[in-house]
Chains A and B, each alone.
Chain A
């Protein structure tokens, strides 16, 4: 009999390749870098082989090299590194990063040559005859005007003419242009003849500019020198359209040229654009005759600044060039700041903190002498962040204008019209005109967060600061989206925002946004730390299509950083009924506000939100948001897509209940506390108890499905008369599963304890008998005793008390050597015992403490473990290791804040799994900040020195710096790789789903494992799967499990069936019998399929050996006997061993042949 694999379909080999490919850095930016770097596929492969063989180990310097006299320069370098950075590492890392983002010489040549070509082309723009502004007939059919022509009427004439001049502006000439998405700004100056000085009024100039762009597009369209031609607009401002050009052929992805059309310098006076001036007349905009013909109307600051922005680019470039010439590190500092902003998604879209604002900020710091010209890029970045963190530009704006002329607006005037104020060198333009206060608060928050961990030597600052992307969905605890943006038009009406709408050129989304934000900020109040919103992405459209409407923009996303103390409170207590603020309160909350009398006697206004269980209370912010939006902005609830509790469904307790188990967990812990008190008070024990410790996930709030007490129907069971216990009935479905909750009970040390392993076991058994007797006598609990533990039936739960003697592990390690010396040798038995009686109770109490600090810890663990189990990894990553992984997210969240909702915690868990570099880094879980910086170094050094012998997934804790006891058993390399692949895929699917309103929301997609790669599927009979209700997709049929409604008795009663789960018994037998031939996977929570994967090496013919004949058959060739697995018989054994439980054994012959 021979067995051959059709194809290598093992997850191991498959996932190894995928891991390489899924490395995000190897995508995207490859093609243009052939010169500088070896091709990515080769690089990763060779590197992979190399690092597989040799884990990095520092090269040893020879003695002579170490002790030679230092040169002055070297001394200086070493000292600088020591004092400025924690180590050279950060400095070198930043240098490496800069090398990655700055433009290569090759790319610069490419840009220069392309710009030359465009310049030449632009000189030949043909002249056209003069027409009315509204007459677009001169533009050919294939080109549209990039402007929303509302209202239709416009005065003025237009004709096409060659540009007055073409020049580079922006980051490229300044040298601060960075990869990726290299964009080069090209300014095209309109000839003065086209313009009229009064064009600033009523969108005439923006319209002429759009027409001029359309003219340019028409001219450039036919040229073979140009690859693609698209329209966009600057930072989402629809009044400022752009033309995007890319080179033809293979270079098309490597650069984009943005054509800005500007008026001739000095054509418009800056004073025309004073923020208090009106440049859009109401009667023109509305089309209605104004009551007073001379009325000027409300000021149009945003309109003004968007026009003013066109007047000044040249001046800005000159200003920045002058600064840059003085400070050598300016360019690098701006590049680092840009990377920092980009990772936080702050650098693009409407009202963004763009790279340009960033460079202006650095220039401000330099010109105001807050930083010196001789500082390094590292110091400049740090000072910039420090400035951002400590300065509130929403209150104390800053200006770059040295001595502004008298007509220029004052800072006070700026503050009264804009939310964020940063004035440019001319004194007229607010660089942050479109930024909302919330965006600035987000920048500020990010900056202060970055500074917090910058100096923390226990954090990999570089990774957190510059390398970790922070998408909204993984940053904020709750996220919601407004889709159907057309509804915002109604909000503008409701909020009475006609003036603002005019100011924004009819963009009702941007108009309504600040008002919605301040409304929600007011309503959410103390419940949140921060309210952020996504910046509307710059739309791009092809030159032959009409510009997209405002309503077609991507939906607005908002993020909440919750304050866990207040976020889920159901009561909003307002001011006393007779105070003047009461009216305001009533106005804000509308009909929901009501008078309430409190226990302290006060009668105040209050709002009471619904929600009884913890998972409902978590969604109180949603109620508030939908209520306020409906009430004040006319946005119906159907337009709000709230992403905050979508995963709750997965861990719901029971089919009909609305609780996600927090309440049940609490009850279990309370019951344990009571038991512990009773144990302490037990009298008549021969030795006293020194500690009672919990050692089960349910006792630290992290059990996926915490046990729920059930009242039992005795007639469902058989009874064992002798021990007064229930026994499962063989003809009935498997009874309800009652898990035993381990409790470790340490007894005091005494001379009475024997000093021999067997005797200790017997003494412990005697203790168990005694404990059982005493609990029965003194507290009426039903107990069941075995040599290794005593089970106590209390409050419908089973506590499994194990007596421990602290010297037992030592006794197990003792042996007498041949030389008569007493020696201690570590062995598995002792380790297992220590794990059970020492480490696990300690971990349980530590994690229990963590739950007290972070209320969402437990639920996050449960979600994480539910996912692991559903994806069939629960035997690879055990409960304790999974809890540790989640704990690391709470203890070292940088660059994020600790998760305050299970959802974001779970997403970060998936991200941690998929992105952590297990090969080169230890994951340190620093409980109670017990580990210091030197401990970290020690852990890291230890780790590097003995990488090969350590578990693939290495987790260090304060009690366990060298061994990683919780991941010793697994996962294996192959399983870890598969885990990484599955995690990143799940994360991708989930994030896409959560952010895309058009997708059906079914988070269970990420919990359904792909089964097609397994070799054999064993289908189980649901009747005998006791946890069937916990399945990801519970089947419609239900079985009676021997329970009746009602609450379980707190004492007395027959002993229920404990820990009887045929599925786990079957799995244990399968692994015992065939573990050497195959791997078995099953979802312990209601899974009805066991997936089997053959181990490839077991199917090679082996010589006959008496010790390795299990489940094998012999093949004789000549004088030699070889053995091979007896597959047919094994498949039949699967069925025989799981008699009644197994419904069908399905060998998937497409994966393998016999």
Chain B
């Protein structure tokens, strides 16, 4: 790797690139010959209101290699201060809250590629420590004390984890369905209430359940239009008047001409491609 000329001078210092990111070198193990660079910055998105990423204590990390799980990142960043939580994602952005509530069996699978992470420290000092990490001391992912499982070992572990106990799965399904039924019930209750107006009158409608309660769907609109079209067509008489007959004939010839023209075009293209050489 070609270093910037000023590299030696700042050897003991951290390296901040334009854009405000600090570069943290990362090696898989101490005898690795090459290294990746993590790009870290304090998490600062004003619009975001999620409590899981407090603004002053969260470190935003880019370019996390695929063999780093949340636990490993937690371990790595513990050198800068106590880590409260780590969240790894495919792309920067907010999480959908609905996924978090699901049981582990139904959560969408994590990507196996490079990821970005949000590391939340217990105190803001962790963020600062991470940002001032010197550029020539790489973080080591896999050490003798904490070997990381990769390759065959990892896949065997994954396989073991993929074996699911049906009873536990059934339990997870039951909990969800209970919650779902409850939610549905509440919803229908609410709907009933909403229909009761201030003076206690209730508007009587056809039904309250599901899609029928909704006024219209796009499809229904289209279908109605098509029906009307059909009706109009059925009423029309064809080839009844002389002018209609003449019109049909004219259309026929026009159709033939159009086809002729199309074919000529096609031939021209094929000829251009020399498609008529038999051998």
- State the A residues within 8 Å of B (CB): 1, 23-26, 28-29, 40, 43-44, 47, 50-51, 56-59, 61, 65-67, 70, 75, 78, 81-82, 87-89, 92-93, 96-97, 99-101, 180, 339, 342-343, 466-467, 469, 720, 722-723, 725, 727-728, 730, 734, 754-756, 758-759, 761-763, 765-766, 769, 772-773, 784-787, 816-817, 820-824, 917, 920, 1024, 1057, 1060, 1062, 1065-1066, 1068-1069, 1072-1075, 1104, 1106-1107, 1109-1114, 1116, 1119-1121, 1126, 1128-1129, 1131-1133, 1136-1142
User: Please, which residue of chain B has its CB at the minimum distance from the CB of A1139?
Assistant: B151
Please name all residues of chain B whose beta carbon is closer than 8 Å to the beta carbon of A1128 when the two chains form the complex: 1, 33-34
Contact status A784-B163, CB under 8 Å: yes
Binds A, one of B200-208, B224-232, B251-259: B251-259
Q: Tell me which of A339, A785, A1073, A1113 contacts B113 (CB under 8 A).
A: A1073
Q: Contacts A92-B267, A787-B106 known; A1104 to B18 CB distance under 8 Å?
A: yes
What CA separation (Å) do A498 and B269 show in the bound complex? 60
A787 touches B263 (CB 8 A): no
Residue in chain B with minimal CB distance to A772: B166
Instruction: Contact check, A97 vs B278: say whether CB atoms are below 8 A apart.
Output: yes
Given contacts A70-B253, A1106-B62, contact A1073 B114 (CB under 8 A): yes
CB pair A1139–B173 under 8 Å, yes or no, is no
Q: How far is the CA of A1132 from the CA of B67 in the complex (A)?
A: 12
Are the CB atoms of A822 and B211 closer together than 8 Å? yes
Is the C-beta of B145 less than 8 angstroms from some C-beta in chain A?
no
CB <8 Å contact, B166 and A78: no
> Among the listed stretches B49-57, B154-162, B236-244, which one makes contact with chain A, having 4 or more residues with CB under 8 Å of it?
B154-162
Does A773 contact B211, Cβ atoms closer than 8 Å? no
B21, B23, B150 interface centre (most CB from chain A within 10 Å): B150
B114 surroundings in chain A (CB, below 8 A): 1073, 1109-1111
Residue interface mask B205-223, A partner, CB < 8 A = 1: 0000011001111110100
Q: What are 12 A-B residue pairs whose CB atoms fall within 8 Å in the complex?
A: A58-B261, A99-B276, A727-B163, A763-B173, A823-B217, A1057-B159, A1060-B155, A1066-B151, A1111-B114, A1121-B17, A1132-B28, A1132-B33
Q: Which of B35-43, B121-129, B188-196 contacts A (4 or more CB under 8 A)?
A: B35-43
Q: B258 — which chain A residues lie within 8 A by C-beta?
A: 58, 61, 66
Q: How far is the CA of A47 from the CA of B273 in the complex (A)?
A: 7
One of B18, B106, B153, B215 near A761 (C-beta < 8 A): B106
Cβ-defined partner of B169 (8 Å) among A51, A765, A1116, A1142: A765
With A1062-B152, A1132-B28 as contacts: A469 and B18 at CB distance below 8 Å: no
Q: Is B177 in contact with chain A by the CB < 8 A criterion?
A: yes
Neighbouring A residues of B218 by C-beta, 8 Å: 817, 821-824
Among A57, A723, A822, A1116, the residue within 8 A (CB) of B163 is A723
In the complex, A817→B270 CA distance in Å?
A: 47
Given contacts A1062-B151, A1113-B37, 6 further A-B contacts (CB under 8 A): A58-B261, A88-B263, A466-B278, A720-B163, A821-B217, A1140-B152
Q: In the complex the two chains form, what is the Cα distance from A1137 to B68 in whole Å?
A: 11
| Complex-state Cα separation, A757 to B147, whole angstroms | 40
A188 CB to nearest B CB, Å? 30
Residue ID in chain B nearest A100 by CB atoms: B276
- B63's partner among A99, A754, A1109 (CB-CB below 8 A) is A1109
Known A-B contacts A92-B267, A1136-B28; A1126 and B18 likewise in contact (beta carbons under 8 Å)? no
Contact A1068 B112 (CB under 8 A): yes
Cα A467 to Cα B276 in complex, Å, equals 8
Distance in angstroms between the alpha carbons of A84 and B205 in the assembled complex? 64
Contact with A along B5-27 (1 / 0, CB 8 A): 00000000000011101010000
Q: Which residues of B contact A759 (CB under 8 A)?
A: 176-177, 180
A26 with B166: CB separation less than 8 A: no
Complex Cα gap A1065–B17 (Å) = 36
Determine whether the beta carbon of A26 is less than 8 Å from that of B274: yes
Contact between chains at B164 and A723 (CB < 8 Å)? yes
A811 to chain B, nearest CB (A): 10
CB <8 Å contact, A1121 and B19: yes
What's the Cα separation between A1068 and B109 when bound, in Å? 13
Total A-B residue contacts, Cβ distance less than 8 Å: 277
Q: How far is the CB of A721 from chain B (nearest CB, A)?
A: 11
User: Is the C-beta of B165 less than 8 angstroms from some C-beta in chain A?
Assistant: yes
Is A822 in contact with B113, judged by CB distance below 8 angstroms? Answer: no
> In whole Å, how far is B28's beta carbon from the nearest beta carbon of chain A?
5
Q: A728 to chain B: which residues have CB within 8 Å?
A: 156, 159
* Chain B residues in 8 Å Cβ range of A1141: 151-152
Interface centre among A23, A1110, A1121 (most CB of B within 10 A): A1110
- Contact call A1139/B153, Cβ cutoff below 8 A: yes
Contact status B33-A1136, CB under 8 Å: no
> Is B272 positioned at the interface, with any CB of A under 8 Å from its CB?
yes
Residues 128-180 of B contacting A (Cβ, < 8 Å): 150-156, 158-160, 162-166, 169-170, 173, 176-177, 180
Q: B residues touching A (Cβ–Cβ < 8 Å)?
A: 1-2, 4, 17-19, 21, 23, 28, 32-37, 39, 62-63, 65-67, 91-92, 98, 102, 105-106, 111-114, 116, 150-156, 158-160, 162-166, 169-170, 173, 176-177, 180, 210-211, 214-219, 221, 250, 253-254, 256-267, 269-279
Chain B, Cβ-Cβ closest to A75 = B253
CB-CB under 8 A for A97 and B276, given A1110-B114, A1111-B36, A1128-B34: yes
Residues of A within 8 A of B264 (CB): 88, 92
Name the B residues within 8 Å of A820 (CB-CB).
214-215
B160 to chain A, nearest CB (A): 5
Asked if A56 and B266 make an inter-chain contact with CB atoms under 8 angstroms apart, the answer reads: yes
Return the chain B residue nearest A1105 by Cβ.
Answer: B19
Chain A contacts for B35, CB-based, 8 A: 1129
Contact of B39 among A75, A730, A1114, A1129 (CB under 8 A): A1114
What's the minimum C-beta distance from B162 to chain A, rounded to whole angstroms? 7
A1069-B271 CB under 8 A given contacts A1114-B39, A1128-B33: no
Q: How far is the CB of B179 from chain A (nearest CB, A)?
A: 10
Given contacts A96-B271, A1121-B17, contact A78 B219 (CB under 8 A): no
- Pair B170/A766 contact, Cβ less than 8 Å: yes
Interface pair B165/A723, CB less than 8 Å apart? yes
Q: Are B170 and A769 touching (Cβ within 8 A)? A: yes
Flag if B163 contacts A725 (CB, 8 Å): yes
Cβ–Cβ contact A61 & B159, under 8 A = no
On whether the beta carbons of A1072 and B112 are closer than 8 Å, the reply is yes
| Residues on B with beta carbons closer than 8 Å to the beta carbon of A28 | 279
In the assembly, what is the distance between CA of A817 and CA of B218, in Å?
10
Nearest B residue to A58 via CB reads: B262
Chain B contacts of A758 at CB under 8 A? 98, 102, 106, 176, 180
* Contact (A92, B67) CB under 8 Å given A769-B169, A1129-B35, A1138-B151: no
CB distance from A276 to the nearest CB of B (A): 42
The CA-CA distance from A728 to B116 in the complex, in Å, is 32
Q: Please indicate which of the listed interface residues B106, B155, B156, B218 has the most CB atoms of chain A within 10 Å of its own CB.
A: B155
A822 and B217 contact, CB distance less than 8 A: yes
Contacts of A1129 in B (CB 8 A): 34-36
> Closest CB of chain B to A1039's CB: distance in Å?
14
Query: What is the minimal beta-carbon distance from A155 to any residue of chain B, in angstroms?
Result: 47
Distance between Cα atoms of A1062 and B23 in the complex (Å): 34
Which of A25, A51, A339, A1024 sits near B274, CB closer than 8 Å?
A25
Q: How far is the CA of A379 from the CA of B264 in the complex (A)?
A: 21
In the assembly, what is the distance between CA of A99 and CA of B152, in Å?
A: 65
- Residue of B34, B170, B211, B278 near A343 (CB, 8 A) is B278
Which residues from A are CB-within-8-Å of B151?
A: 1062, 1066, 1136-1142
Contact call A1062/B155, Cβ cutoff below 8 A: yes
Q: A97-B278, A754-B180, A762-B176 are in contact. Are A1114 and B112 (CB under 8 A)?
A: no
The CA of A44 and the CA of B150, in the complex, are separated in Å by: 52
A1121 pairs with B18, CB closer than 8 A? yes
Closest to B105 in A: A787
Contact (Cβ within 8 A) A769 B66 = no
> Are A824 and B155 closer than 8 Å at their CB atoms?
no
Q: Roughly how many angstroms separate A28 CA and B279 CA in the complex, as a whole number? A: 9
Query: Interface centre among B1, B92, B156, B279, by most A CB within 10 Å?
Result: B279
